[in-house]
Amino acid sequence: MLHAYLENTLRYDASLCIGCGLCSQVCPHGVFDQNGRVAFLVRRESCIECGACQRNCPTGAVQVDSGVGCASGMIRAALSRRNRVPRVAQAEPCCQAADR
């Protein structure tokens, strides 16, 4: 049976890593770990594409097509694209109650 969450867009080029450790620090799912010199992927399939690692990687060693895995937001965006309504950063219901 299909497991939709096994694949993602995370790409990591270890040759560019300077071992700053930021990616392992910011990842909320423990996708990266450090072995002292460089980062390495330990749980690639847990990546949720939040983009924290990419944003904080100073050398561009981590690349990910980041976005929010929110079906209602994506369906609504797909439906409203036809009307060419520019959507401002607005709260999805899912974003509203979270206290993170």
Which residue ranges make up the site for other proteins (CB under 8 A)?
Answer: 1-9, 22, 24-30, 46-52, 55-56, 58, 65-75, 89, 91-100
- Least separation in angstroms between residue 69's CB and other proteins is 4
Neighbours of 21 (CB within 10 A): 15
- Least separation in angstroms between residue 81's CB and other proteins is 14
Q: Which is nearer to other proteins, 14 or 42 (CB)?
A: 42
- Least separation in angstroms between residue 37's CB and other proteins is 19
Q: Which is nearer to other proteins, 19 or 69 (CB)?
A: 69
β pairing state of 11-12 and 39-41: unpaired
Give the C-alpha separation, 51 to 63, whole Å. Answer: 8
Within 13 A of 46's CA, how many CA atoms are on the CB side? 9
Instruction: Give CA angle at 32 (51, 71), nearest 5°.
Output: 40
Q: Which is nearer to other proteins, 72 or 80 (CB)?
A: 72
- Least separation in angstroms between residue 78's CB and other proteins is 8
Neighbours of 37 (CB within 10 A): 10
